Structure 1
C-alpha cells in the first residue's frame, strides 16, 4: 500500500482540471468527498477531487535548532500530525474551508451554506472558487491566477529518444556510496523539447514526498548548484578492497557491483560517450528504476520511475560515511568532497522552469505526483512554450460548451456560434497567428460571459444566461487569454 497516495492527485489534473478516468484516492469510509462531489459534480477528476480541499499542508523543523524545514502536502501533514494510528487531532489538519464545513454540520447543506463565504479571505466566495477549480481554503489559489504552461512526458515516449548512458559514482554524505550505470535522457534535451523560453534561468526538481532541488541552467561557482546545460568533468574509477561492502559488509562503505564496473580497475578513466550530463534517468544497470513509495514513517523508498542524476562537479573517490567511527581508512570522510548523490532527486515527478512568466502561478507541487509515479510520467512547467497548454485549454473549453444545455444560452443558435468562434481561435494558434486568436478571446468572447464573474449577475449582452454555466466558461477564457498573450509576446520580435 502506498500510504500517502490516497489523498493525492495526478499532476495532469492539478494543471488542467480536465476530467480523467483516474479519480482521486480517498480514505476508506470517508464520506466527505462523496458529499462534496454530489454538491459539486463538476469537480470529479479535477484537483478539487482530493483531501486538499479541506486539509492543509504544513512544515516541521528537521531537528531542533537546525533551521532546516521539511514541507509537506496535506496528505503527509495529516499522517504526520494525526498519525496512521489516529492518535492526533484531525481538526489540527483542517484549513479554513474545512473548519467552516465542519462547523456548519459536515453535510450537503453545510456546503450550500458556506458557498457564499470567503473562507480563505482571498476576496472570492467559496462557490466561485470551486466553479473556477481553485481551492476555497487556500488564499494563494484564486480564480485570477493562471497556472503556468506545462508539458507532460511519459517514460514510453522518452524511451524513443536518443538515450544517454553514463557510469558514475554516487557519492553520499552518510548513507553509503555506490557506482551505477544510469540511462535516460539529458535534462537539457527534455527542456529543449518542452520549449524552454529565453527568459529561463534555472529549474527546480520536485519529488512527491516534498523534496525539491534547484539547478541553474549554466555553470555556477556555488558547489551545491549542479547545472543543466553542458558537460561535467570526466571521472576516474576508484576501487579499494577495504571500501567494498561486498567484501567487508561491516566496515566497507561503497558498492562496486554495478555492471558498469566490469573490466575497470582503480585509476582507470571512465569513458562516457557525449560526456557526463545532468541526467533524467529511468534505468539503472539495465533495469527500470524501482518506483518510489512512502513507508509508515513518511520516508521515501525507491528512486523511480525517474531520478535526476548529477555527476560530480569535482570528481573524487567514494569517501567514508560521516556517521562512521572508522575514519582511519583509505578515503576518510571529507567535508569538502563532492557528495553529488545528496543533490540527486529520487522519484522525480515535476520540473519547474524558473522564473514563471509574469501573471502566472505555480501548480500545487505539494499535492501532486503519486499518480505519475504509478503511470511513469513527469511534468515540466513554467517558463516554456505555452502552445501545448493552449490546445489543452481549447479542448477543455469546447467540451464545457458542448456539454452545456442549449437552454443555458441566450438563444439556441448562440451555442453553435460560441463553439465556432472557439474553433476559429484555435485554428489561428495553429496557423501561428496568436494575435488573431487573442482578439477573438479577449474582445469577442470574454465580454459575452463576464457578468456573473464581475458583477454576480447576467448582463444584457451575455451569451450564457445562467451563472452556474457562465462562470466556469469565463475563467477558462481568462486562462486562455493569459496563455495566448504569452505566446504573442514570445513571437513578437525583440526591441
Structure 2
C-alpha cells in the first residue's frame, strides 16, 4: 500500500518497506514523512520549517532567508528513528533489526510504539499517553453554522497590493460554540496551516468584535499606473462609501469564500516554500488598530518594497498590516492551554485535511 505522504515519491522504497513491515500503519499518521524525518532545528532560524516536508525540501529548493540550521545532506533531516534505520542498512530488514531499540529515548521500544501508532522518533509521542480529544468538522458541517460576511482590508507588508475583500465564513466564537468548547479557562487559540506554520490568537481576538474598517476609493485612480497598489472586489456590499466606516462589524473569521467564490485550495510552492491559495479555509484577522495614519485612519498603504511617491499612500511601519496575522489553509485549531497528560494532535502535516476540506479542533475543553 502506497504511503499518503509520499504520493510525490512513487518509487520510495523506504516507506513501502515500512508499510510492508507494519501493515497496520498504512493510512495512519505513521504512513508519513515524519516517521523518519524531522522539522527544523530548535534555536535556529530554520526552526520555522515545522513540517518535515518543508525542511527536507530545503535541500533541493534552498531558501535564502535561513542562515542557520539549514540541512546540508539528507541525513541532516532524519529524526532519531530515521538515523537508526539508516545505520542499520536502510533496507527492509533494517526495520525488524531496530524494532527492539528505543530510538527516541522515551522508555518504549520502537516496535511497541509503532504497534500503538506512536512516532518512534519523537519522545513526546509514546504509549500510555492518550491522544488529545479532537473534533473534526467538514465542509458541509461548517457551512451549516451561522454565516458572517464582512468587507475588510487585507493590509500587507511586502506584497505588491493591499486588498479589499469580502470574506464569508463562520465567526471563530460561533465555531467554538458549535463544538461545545466554552471559553472558561481558555487563554486563546493556535491555528495551524498544513505545513505546520502557526499563529496565536488571544481571548480578546475571539470574544470581541474588531473596529469597523474605513473604505478608501481614491487608490482606484492609480489603476493602470506604477502607483497602483490596491485591489477591489467587483461588487461592494450595500452602504459602502468612500472615507466612511464599513457598515459590517468584523470578527475573527474562519473564511471559506472570497468575493463570492470558494477559496482556492492551499498548496506548497516549490522553490519558495510558500503556500499558494488560501483555502479551503483561511483564518482571517481584521485590523485591530486603525490609527496608523491619523489623517486617514485604517487606510491601505503601499508595499514596504515600493518606491515612495509622497502622495499620502506610502508605506507606514506603524500600520496594522493584518494580512500577516492570517493563516492560509487553516486546518488545525488548538485551544490553549493544552491540558496536561495528553499527546498533542499531529499538526505537523495537515495536507490530508486540505484535500478532505476538514478542520480539526483539539485542546482545552474539547471532549
TM-score normalised by the shorter chain: which range applies?
0.7 to 0.9
Give, in angstroms, the shift of residue 269 of structure 1. 2.9
Instruction: Report the counterpart of residue 200 of structure 1 in structure 2.
Output: 186
Give, in angstroms, the shift of residue 69 of structure 1. 5.0
Instruction: Report the counterpart of residue 115 of structure 1 in structure 2.
Output: 99
CA contact (8 A) 2:39 2:47 kept: no
* Equivalent-residue separation in structure 1 for 2:163 and 2:92 (angstroms): 55
CA contact (8 A) 1:290 1:302 kept: yes
The match for 2:302 among 293, 311, 320 is 320
2:284 is the alignment partner of 1:309 = yes
1:289-346 CA deviation, whole Å, 9 max, x = no partner? 1111111122111111111111111231001221111241222222221111111111
Instruction: Report the counterpart of residue 216 of structure 1 in structure 2.
Output: 202
* Equivalent-residue separation in structure 2 for 1:304 and 1:166 (angstroms): 17
Instruction: Report the counterpart of residue 32 of structure 2 in structure 1.
Output: 50
CA contact (8 A) 2:233 2:259 kept: no
**Structure 2 counterparts to residues 11-30 of structure 1, below 5 A:** 25=7, 27-30=9-12
Instruction: Report the counterpart of residue 231 of structure 1 in structure 2.
Output: 209
Instruction: Report the counterpart of residue 270 of structure 2 in structure 1.
Output: 296
Counterpart of 1:146 in 2: which secondary structure?
coil
Instruction: Report the counterpart of residue 162 of structure 2 in structure 1.
Output: 177
TM-score scaled to structure 2, two decimals?
0.88
Which stretch shifts more, 246-255 or 206-215? 246-255
Counterpart of 1:76 in 2: which secondary structure?
helix
**Structure 2 counterparts to residues 85-484 of structure 1, below 5 A:** 89-175=73-159, 176-197=161-182, 198-218=184-204, 227-240=205-218, 243-244=219-220, 247-260=223-236, 264-272=240-248, 275-297=249-271, 298-315=273-290, 316-366=298-348, 368-386=349-367
CA contact (8 A) 2:3 2:26 kept: no
2:19 is the alignment partner of 1:37 = yes
Q: Relative to total residues, which structure has the larger helix share, 1 or 2?
A: 1
Give, in angstroms, the shift of residue 41 of structure 1. 1.3
Which stretch shifts more, 303-312 or 33-42? 33-42
* Equivalent-residue separation in structure 2 for 1:166 and 1:290 (angstroms): 18
* Equivalent-residue separation in structure 2 for 1:68 and 1:108 (angstroms): 32
1:209–1:161 Cα change, 3 Å: same
CA contact (8 A) 1:135 1:141 kept: yes
* Equivalent-residue separation in structure 1 for 2:254 and 2:88 (angstroms): 48
* Equivalent-residue separation in structure 1 for 2:7 and 2:337 (angstroms): 32
* Equivalent-residue separation in structure 2 for 1:204 and 1:254 (angstroms): 30
Counterpart of 1:185 in 2: which secondary structure?
strand
CA contact (8 A) 2:33 2:52 kept: yes
Larger Rg: 1
* Equivalent-residue separation in structure 2 for 1:371 and 1:209 (angstroms): 11
Instruction: Report the counterpart of residue 74 of structure 1 in structure 2.
Output: 52
**Aligned residue pairs, count:** 348
* Equivalent-residue separation in structure 2 for 1:322 and 1:269 (angstroms): 25
Counterpart of 1:161 in 2: which secondary structure?
coil
1:69–1:324 Cα change, 3 Å: farther
1:92-140 CA deviation, whole Å, 9 max, x = no partner? 2222211221222223322111111111111111111111111111122
Counterpart of 1:152 in 2: which secondary structure?
strand
Instruction: Mark the runs of 5 or more structure 1 residues left unpaired by the alignment.
Output: 1-5, 10-23, 219-226, 387-495
Give, in angstroms, the shift of residue 265 of structure 1. 3.5
CA contact (8 A) 1:357 1:383 kept: yes
CA contact (8 A) 1:306 1:348 kept: yes
* Equivalent-residue separation in structure 2 for 1:59 and 1:250 (angstroms): 41
Higher RCO, 1 vs 2 (CA within 8 Å, ≥6 residues apart):
2
Which stretch shifts more, 292-301 or 24-33? 24-33
* Equivalent-residue separation in structure 2 for 1:363 and 1:68 (angstroms): 22
CA contact (8 A) 1:163 1:184 kept: yes
1:135–1:339 Cα change, 3 Å: same
Instruction: Mark the runs of 5 or more structure 2 residues left unpaired by the alignment.
Output: 63-70, 291-297
CA contact (8 A) 2:4 2:31 kept: no
